[in-house]
Amino acid sequence: MSDADIFYVSQLNKNIMYGGAVTLKQSKDGGSTWTEITNWCCGNDAVRTEVNADFRGCFS
């Protein structure tokens, strides 16, 4: 992993994980499958889910 990558495992449910760099992905099955949950650029006008690639942390 580079300095910009993050990885987080939920303290309440070990099957819920987050990982990524420019985009953030989520797994609800212990890492077997991943779904992109953010869009770094050009988000939908109704729901904005962009992330800034300069932020290098994941907080809960």
Domain segments of the chain: what residues? 1-53
d(CA 37, CA 18): 9
Tell me the whole-structure pTM to 2 decimals: 0.65
Flag whether pLDDT at 4 surpasses 50: yes
- Reported as a single tens digit per residue, the pLDDT across 15-53 is 999 988 777 899 999 999 999 887 666 555 555 555 555
d(CA 36, CA 20): 9
pLDDT at res. 1 = 46
Residues in the chain: 60
